[in-house]
Amino acid sequence: MANAAAPAPKQNMGEPVPRLDARLKVTGEARYPADFPVKNPAFAYLATSSIAKGRITRLDLDEARAVPGLIDILTHENTGELKNLKFGTAGVSTSIQALGPDILHDGQTIAVVLAETFEAAREAAHKVKATYAEQKPSATFGSPGLTEEDATKVSPTHKHVPHAGDAEAAIAAADVAIDVEYATPTQHHNPIELFSTTCVWLDDRLSVYEPSQFVYGLKNGVAQRLDIEPDKVRVISPYVGGAFGSKGGMTPRTALIALAARRLNRPVKLVVARDQGFTIATYRAETRHHIRLGARRDGKMVGYSHEGWEISSRPDPYVVAGVEESAHLYAFGAVQTKVNLVHADRNTPGFMRSPPVVPYIYALESAMDELAAKLDMDPIELRRINDTTTDPIDGRPYSSRSLMTCYDQAAQAFGWQRRGRQPGSMREGDWLIGWGCATAVYPTHIGAATARVRLLSNGMVRVQTAAHEIGNGAYTVIGQTAAERLGVPLSRVSVELGDTNLPPAPVAGGSRTTASTCSAVIKACDAIRDKLFRAAVTANDGPLAGRDAADLALTEGRVVAAGGAEEKLDDTFARLGASAIEEYAEFVPHGMKPESIKELYAGKSLGTGGPEGEKLMYALGAEFVEVRIHALTREIRVPRIVGAFAAGRILNPRTARSQLMGGMIWGIGSALHEATEIDPQRARYVNDNLADYSVPVNADIKELEVILVPEEDHDVNPAGVKGLGELANVGTAAAIANAVYHATGKRLRKLPIRIEDVLMA
């Protein structure tokens, strides 16, 4: 619960209010799920497999059981009562849910060790001895034993294969064409907050404290696995210390800890070790891309062909299939796409910041730069020539599209007109300078959402919705929305989130939280306003009697008419004989069915937007970077990055800017640092810790400028919001790769780009 302590009067939507949770977080008062005190907990520690493929033939637990303080050990031999759920149902992140005996990836959980202390549980877990019948695993692209299939045939999500005209023929006949391949690595989210689960039973009721991007999904999923009524499960997650997609689906651990707590008749707490977080949850899949583009001599594009390959686990058909978004980006002419699912002996991947466009837009935006170079054309010009306000696939209009405004503003701020066209033309002493740019794009997702809002006659407001504070500023923008709508300072608003005792909100994924939940909050506030205004105008006497309710406003504890007449809120409440009004509202986005609310309660977060619906809805941006590469050492630096972004209405420029900055910094990481290395022999992650998993540090980040391009969009949703949490890291990697080309004349088509790659090029 965040109680607003922010200074009045700048409380309304559009104001750069500091985050309501900022102080709580820097003082350590914000309570993350693992921080909740529970009485007399037992501690759990996971034992994980040391092979990637095979079968457990024997478990020797004697040594583990001898550890003082050991309570119990759950293994495949004694956990039969858990139901396995299929991938793609109830938000399950993987169908690999059992503790064995079959081993489908390295680091699979094979035992849950329970002890009186964390240390005892850890020690005993390391003494769990498994004997395996081991088979040789397939780790990565190029490994023997991979299987490949057309994703549309098996994926529960990739259904629409964008296609227009005859791309083969168009590209074959084009004046200028390119035919290129790109590669992106495995990445892990590595949120600072580790994965944790604490389960407490009270009679037949279960409370789960777990960081979650979708508490209603987790509630329903756990209930299904335990085969109990969802009503018996409560999930509590008021703060999430970073998630980026990794806490969106249900991992097997939750039901295991619930089961352990039920058996022990005692609360059980699990905090997963950092290295185990690499294998017991999801990650961003490794991908490959084959892109062909064709254009006329004047730059007008005639064809786009994009085939992608994504690695998944053996059993699960997980793909992001970003061609469903990339195919709408420009006036391509003909389009053809295909996505291939490649099965390896890996854990199942999942959403990671900015799916599905990362990594597909990296590939497309790199290819656009290659095409511009081949046309000897400025890369901005190529995008301008092929800009569009309608869908290249079927002609539907964009709800709004400010891409070229973003390019113009960012180019201006960056000083792009001073760029030398030829690669290698901007050297300064020993430093090769490269300037590159790329488009950022993210689909506008809107989900069904509900909210309960209460206004007291003294002007205090309480907002309740089971949305999620994942570091995005959800408490703040939701509070601002209610403050503005009910005409009170933000300091009088309290916001409650992240608890299934509250009315449901959609998954905090796909950058949908603000658009969805604020639309529900607006609806609840408007119902409160209606009640008050009707009471004021239908009164027998009083300053507002007989007026038109449509002319009234709520401001600072008064109901005010357009002409200046007003009455105190107290008095209006008195007319209703009430001291509080509470309204519950259900927001169903345009084009969605009313049943989507029922589905939401049942743990299914349905949404619309992006390429679906009558209009295309996308947030867009343009990013410009300068790289400097040392001529001798090939050290790569990014001294400057400028991004201009248009994402509908900006409810809070401070939180928006910080999301966009974070995104661009992540993009620098993706371009130059980040990769999970896998041992091709053992299919085991090698750098599964924060010392070896390389991410940018402060010294890597120099000048970084965010430009918010104003954009009005009345089609997207009542809040006018497109969502931007996942927008900014989308274009960065391509912009940097393009800048590396401009500095060196070498195309490096595999991320990340490191010193050795530039040396070898």
**Considering the complex, what minimum distance in angstroms separates the CB of residue 550 from ligand MOS?**
39
Q: Looking at 100-108, 126-134, 350-358, 390-398, which segment touches ligand MOS (CB under 6 A)?
A: 350-358
Asked if 201 interacts with ligand MOS (CB under 6 A), we say no
Considering only residues 121 to 180 of the shown chain, the ones binding ligand MOS according to CB under 6 A are none
Q: Looking at 86-94, 172-180, 346-354, 659-667, which segment touches ligand MOS (CB under 6 A)?
A: 346-354
**Considering the complex, what minimum distance in angstroms separates the CB of residue 510 from ligand MOS?**
4
Asked if 191 interacts with ligand MOS (CB under 6 A), we say no
Question: What is the Rg, in whole angstroms, of the alpha carbon atoms belonging to the chain?
Answer: 27
Q: Helix, strand or coil for residue 737?
A: helix
Cβ closest to ligand MOS, residue 248 vs residue 294: 248
Q: Which of 33, 191, 221, 248 binds ligand MOS (CB under 6 A)?
A: 248
**Considering the complex, what minimum distance in angstroms separates the CB of residue 174 from ligand MOS?**
35
Measured from each CB, the residue nearest to ligand MOS is 245
Asked if 217 interacts with ligand MOS (CB under 6 A), we say no
Asked if 510 interacts with ligand MOS (CB under 6 A), we say yes
Three-state helix/strand/coil letters over 638-683: EEEEEEEEECECCCCHHHHHHHHHHHHHHHHHHHHCCCECEECCCC
Taking CB under 6 A as the rule, which mask of x and - marks residues 708-727 in contact with ligand MOS?
------------------x-
Asked if 349 interacts with ligand MOS (CB under 6 A), we say no
E strand or H helix at 755, and its extent? helix 755-760
Asked if 663 interacts with ligand MOS (CB under 6 A), we say no
E strand intervals along 191-331:
196-202, 205-209, 233-236, 268-271, 287-295, 301-312
Q: Which of 33, 355, 621, 731 binds ligand MOS (CB under 6 A)?
A: 355
* Residue with tokens 């509590």, as numbered in its chain: 236
Question: 376 vs 176, 191, 240, 419, 742, CA distance in Å?
Answer: 11, 42, 48, 14, 13
Q: Which of 245, 252, 542, 613 binds ligand MOS (CB under 6 A)?
A: 245
Nearest to 584 by CA among 481, 450, 474, 718: 450
The two beta strands, 618-630 and 445-447, are unpaired
Whether residue 599 lies in the annotated active site? no
**Considering the complex, what minimum distance in angstroms separates the CB of residue 507 from ligand MOS?**
8
Q: Looking at 147-155, 265-273, 351-359, 407-415, which segment touches ligand MOS (CB under 6 A)?
A: 351-359
Size of the site for ligand MOS (CB under 6 A): 11
First-to-last C-alpha distance (Å) of the chain: 53
Asked if 226 interacts with ligand MOS (CB under 6 A), we say no
Q: Helix, strand or coil for residue 578?
A: coil
Asked if 351 interacts with ligand MOS (CB under 6 A), we say yes
Q: Looking at 15-23, 240-248, 476-484, 608-616, which segment touches ligand MOS (CB under 6 A)?
A: 240-248
Q: Looking at 59-67, 103-111, 171-179, 241-249, which segment touches ligand MOS (CB under 6 A)?
A: 241-249
Q: What is the dihedral sign for C-alpha 620, 617, 496, 228?
A: negative
Distance CA 410, CA 404 (A): 10
Cβ closest to ligand MOS, residue 114 vs residue 352: 352
Q: Which of 43, 182, 195, 244 binds ligand MOS (CB under 6 A)?
A: 244
**Which residue type does 272 have?**
V
Asked if 278 interacts with ligand MOS (CB under 6 A), we say no
Q: Looking at 352-360, 449-457, 566-574, 675-683, which segment touches ligand MOS (CB under 6 A)?
A: 352-360
* Residue with tokens 């399950």, as numbered in its chain: 92
* Residue with tokens 């999500």, as numbered in its chain: 157
Q: Helix, strand or coil for residue 72?
A: strand
Distance CA 664, CA 358 (A): 13
Cβ closest to ligand MOS, residue 182 vs residue 351: 351
Considering only residues 550 to 609 of the shown chain, the ones binding ligand MOS according to CB under 6 A are none
Do residues 237 and 502 lie in contact, with contact meaning Cβ atoms separated by under 8 Å? no
Of 193, 674, 711, 726, the active-site residue reads: 726
Q: Which residues make Cβ contacts (< 8 Å) with residue 453, sequence separation at least 6?
A: 461, 462, 463, 464, 482, 486, 521, 524, 525, 528, 582, 583, 585
Nearest to 578 by CA among 587, 567, 586, 569: 569
Which phi and psi angles does 509 have, rounded to 5°?
-145, 160
Asked if 509 interacts with ligand MOS (CB under 6 A), we say yes
**Considering the complex, what minimum distance in angstroms separates the CB of residue 245 from ligand MOS?**
3
**Considering the complex, what minimum distance in angstroms separates the CB of residue 306 from ligand MOS?**
21
Cβ closest to ligand MOS, residue 218 vs residue 411: 218
Q: Which of 353, 401, 547, 749 binds ligand MOS (CB under 6 A)?
A: 353
Taking CB under 6 A as the rule, which mask of x and - marks residues 41-70 in contact with ligand MOS?
------------------------------
- Size of the chain in residues: 761
Asked if 731 interacts with ligand MOS (CB under 6 A), we say no
Q: Which of 213, 282, 402, 572 binds ligand MOS (CB under 6 A)?
A: 213
**Considering the complex, what minimum distance in angstroms separates the CB of residue 445 from ligand MOS?**
8
Three-state helix/strand/coil letters over 530-556: HHHHHHHHCCCCCCCCCCCHHHEEEEC
Cβ closest to ligand MOS, residue 504 vs residue 506: 506
Number of helices (H) and strands (E) in the chain: give both, helices first: 19, 32
Do residues 344 and 180 lie in contact, with contact meaning Cβ atoms separated by under 8 Å? no
* Chain centroid, CA 106 distance in Å: 26
Q: Looking at 222-230, 232-240, 348-356, 400-408, which segment touches ligand MOS (CB under 6 A)?
A: 348-356
**Considering the complex, what minimum distance in angstroms separates the CB of residue 653 from ligand MOS?**
22
Mind giving me the DSSP string for 163-222? EES-HHHHHHT-SEEEEEEEEE-BB----SSPPEEEEEEETTEEEEE---S-HHHHHHHH
Residue ranges in contact with ligand MOS by CB under 6 A: 213, 244-245, 248, 351-353, 355, 509-510, 726
Residues involved in catalysis: 726
